[in-house]
Chains A and B, each alone.
Chain A
Amino acid sequence: MKSKPEELKILRKKSMLKLKTYIPGFDSISEGGLPRGRTTLLSGTAGCGKTVIACQFLAEGIEQGGDNVVFITFEEPPQDIRDNMLGLGWDIAKWEKEGRWAFVDASASPEENVIEAGDYDLGALMARIEFAINKIGAKRVALDSLGAIFSQLSQNNVVRRELFRITSALKKMKVTSLLTAERVDEYGSISRFGVEEFVTDNVIVVRNVLTDEKRRRTIEILKFRGTTHQKGEWPFTIVPGKGMYIIALSEMQLKHISSKVRISSGNDVLDKMTNGGYFRDSIILLSGATGTGKTLTATTFLAETCRRGERALMFAFEESNSQLTRNAAGWGIDFENYEKQGFLKIVCAYPETMGLEDHLHHMKMVIEEFKPSRIAVDSLTALERISTVRSYREFVIGLTSLIKENQMAGLFTATTPTLMGGSSVTEEHISTITDSIILLRYVEMFGEMKRGITVLKMRGSLHDKVIRQYTINHEGLQIGSAFRNVSGILSGNIKHFTPHETDRLQDMFKGDES
C-alpha cells in the first residue's frame, strides 16, 4: 500500500506490455517477459536448447501463469516431445488430458512421400492452428522450428509468405508466441531461410559457443520493438528436472542490508586482528599458497558456527568429505558429530563435473535448502581452471551476490600460484567484491620457512596492519607476534635488517624527537 499511484501506473503499464515467462532469470533480462500478444523469434544453432526453452515457456505458463497453451511442432513428433520433456519434469500428456496443452503436429512423416503438383498455400495449417488455439483458449503458443517446414516443402517463397500470414494471424488472435529458428553460425546471420524478415519485431538469440573445450550457453535479446530489455549475452544452463536457468547478473542489486554484528572467526587472535571478528554478512577472501593453512582457517570458521548452534555449509572442490573430517579431527574439531547433528553440511565435487553455470545453480539449490548462516568455499581457485575468465567472473559475482542476498557470511579461499608473495586471477576479479582480505604468506628467514598472516583490508572497520608470524599445530592456527626486521614479505622479495642497523636508524631520529 506504500507505492505511490504513479509507480502503480507505471507498473500496470509495464505488465500490459509484457507477459511473464516465469523462466528463471528471463523475466529479469527481458524486463518483464515476452512482449504480450506478439511473436518473438528465438534463433540458435543446433543443440542450444531451443525446443526446451519453447516448451518451458509453455510449461511455466501452465504451472505458474494459469494459461492454456498450444505447441506447433514442425520438427519432432509430439510423442518425442512428450518423452523428452518428462525428463525436465513436465508432464505434457497429463496437461493434454486436462485440455490445457494442445499439439499441432506438422512434423514430417519419414515414410510418406509428398508430391507437389501445382500451387498451394498453408491454409490447412493455419486453420488447424486457429482451431487448436480457439478450442482450448490458448494464451501462449510455441512454434518449433520454422526451418523444418522449409525442408518439407520445396517452394520456399510460398512457405515464407505463408509463415508471414500465420504470424500475423497469431498477432491478431492476441496470443503471445515464441517461434524458434535454426541458425548456421553462432555469430552470423540471424537465421537460416531468412525467417527473421517476417517476425522482426522481437528477436532473441541463443548461443552455444565452444571456447577452451568448454561449451558455454548464452542468451541475448537482440531486439524488442517498442519496449525495453537488458542488453548483452547472459549465461544460462539447462537443469535436469527444471529447465532453463539464466544467470541474470542484472537481477542482482547492490542493496544488501549491512549489519554491524560481528562474528567470530574461531580464532581469538584473528578476531583481535579484525577488531572483533568479521561482519556477519561479509565476504572474506583468504589468500595463500598451498600449505599455508587456508583449509584450516575455513574449518575453524565453520566449526565456530556449529559450536554456536548455527548451520554451516562447505563447498569443497579439492578434498573429499572424509579427508576434510580427518583433517579437522587432527585440529581437535569433530566435523562428523556436527554433521550428524545437522549443523554442518559438506558438499564435495570435482570442479570438472559440471560447468560453472551448473555449479552456481547447484550451490544455489543447496543454500536455499540448507539455509546456512555461514558458507566456506574451498577453494575458489579450483573453479578457475574449468572455465574462461569471463564466465569465472560472472560466477564469482553471482555467488557473492547470492551469499549477500541471503545475509550470510562467506569465506572463500584462493590459492596463489607462487609460494612467496604473488596473486591469482581470483584475487584480481574478486578483490573489489570482497569485504575483507586476509593474506597467508610464506616468509623465508635465514634458511627457514616461516608463515605470516595479515589483514589486508576490512571494509568499515579498523584492523591490525602488521604481518604476524604464525604456526600450525594440533590445536590449529597459532598466531604470534609481528615480524621484525623484515620487509618485502608480500612482494616475495624479502629483505632482512640486522638489529644493529635498525637500532642505529632509531638512534638517528632520537635527537629530533627530544
Chain B
Amino acid sequence: MNKMKVKIKLILYITGHTSKSLRAIKTLRDLSEGELKDIIEIKIIDVLEHPQLAEDDKILATPTLVKTLPGPIRRIIGDLSETEKVLLGLDIRYIEHRKISKS
C-alpha cells in the first residue's frame, strides 16, 4: 500500500474549450476521482492563454497530457478516449484494473 502514496503529477495542455479538450478533462477527472484521488495532481494549461509554456514544453498537439512525476517524463496526446493506452502510459494500469473490477 506504500506505493499508492507516490504522487503522480500531470499537466494537461488544451486549446480552449473544444470538444476534445472537454473529453480529455472529463477522462482525467474520472481517473482522479476514486482510488487515485489522493495521489494524482492535475494542472490544466490552456495554450491559447499561455503559449510560452507550450513553447517551453515543446507541445505540438492538443490535448497533450504530460506526466512529469514520477519519471520518466511521458507524453500522451489525444482526447484520452482510449483509456487503456492512457493508463499504460501513466504506469497506473494495475490500480485502475482493481478499480474497474470493483465496479
Contacts and interface: CB of A to CB of B under 8 A. Distances in A.
A67 interface: no
B61 A131 contact: no
Interface stretch (A119-127, A173-181, A367-375): A119-127
B23 A132 contact: no
Interface stretch (A101-109, A206-214, A340-348, A455-463): A101-109
Contacts of B47: 123-124, 127-128
Nearest to B20: A119
A105 B58 contact: yes
Contacts of B72: 113
Given A125-B60, A153-B61, A120 B77 contact: yes
Contact of A115 (B58, B60, B89): B89
Interface stretch (B2-10, B33-41, B80-88, B94-102): B80-88
Contacts of B48: 123, 127
A153 to B, nearest CB: 7
A152 interface: yes
A167 to B, nearest CB: 16
Contacts of A115: 74-77, 85-86, 88-89
B52 interface: yes
Interface in B44-79: 47-48, 51-52, 54-55, 58-64, 72-79
Given A106-B60, A117-B81, A117-B86, A128 B51 contact: yes
A124 B15 contact: yes
A118 interface: yes
Contacts of B77: 114-117, 120, 153
Given A124-B15, A125-B61, A119 B81 contact: yes
A125 B55 CA distance: 8
A507 interface: no
B78 to A, nearest CB: 3
A127 B51 contact: yes
Contacts of A126: 15
B58 A118 contact: no
Contacts of B16: 123
A124 B20 CA distance: 13
Interface size class of B (residues with CB under 8 A): 35 or more
Interface size class of A (residues with CB under 8 A): 20 to 34
Given A105-B58, A127-B54, A128-B47, A116 B85 contact: yes
A106 B55 CA distance: 9
Contact of A104 (B18, B24, B55, B86): B55
Given A105-B55, A112-B75, A120 B88 contact: no
A130 interface: yes
A128 B57 CA distance: 11
A436 to B, nearest CB: 64
Chain A interface mostly helix, strand, loop or mixed?
A: mixed
A117 B54 CA distance: 19
A193 B47 CA distance: 28
Contacts of A114: 75-77
Contacts of B78: 116-120
Contacts of A113: 72, 74-75
A130 B81 CA distance: 28
Given A114-B75, A115-B88, A127-B47, A120 B62 contact: yes
Contact of B82 (A105, A117, A123, A152): A117
A118 B13 contact: no
Contacts of A153: 60-61, 77
Contacts of B60: 106, 122, 124-125, 149, 152-153
A374 B82 CA distance: 76
Nearest to B79: A118
B58 A117 contact: no
B33 to A, nearest CB: 19
Interface in A364-399: none
A397 to B, nearest CB: 48
Given A115-B74, A127-B15, A128-B47, A121 B55 contact: no
B80 A118 contact: yes
A135 B20 CA distance: 28
17 contacts: A113-B72, A115-B88, A116-B78, A117-B77, A117-B80, A117-B86, A118-B80, A120-B62, A120-B77, A120-B79, A121-B15, A124-B64, A125-B60, A128-B51, A128-B55, A131-B55, A153-B77
Interface of B: 13, 15-16, 18, 20, 23-24, 47-48, 51-52, 54-55, 58-64, 72-83, 85-86, 88-89
Interface of A: 104-107, 109, 112-128, 130-132, 149, 152-153
Q: Considering the complex of A and B, which 8 residue pairs feature the smallest CB-CB distances, nearest first? A: A123-B15, A118-B78, A131-B51, A118-B81, A118-B79, A117-B85, A124-B59, A117-B82
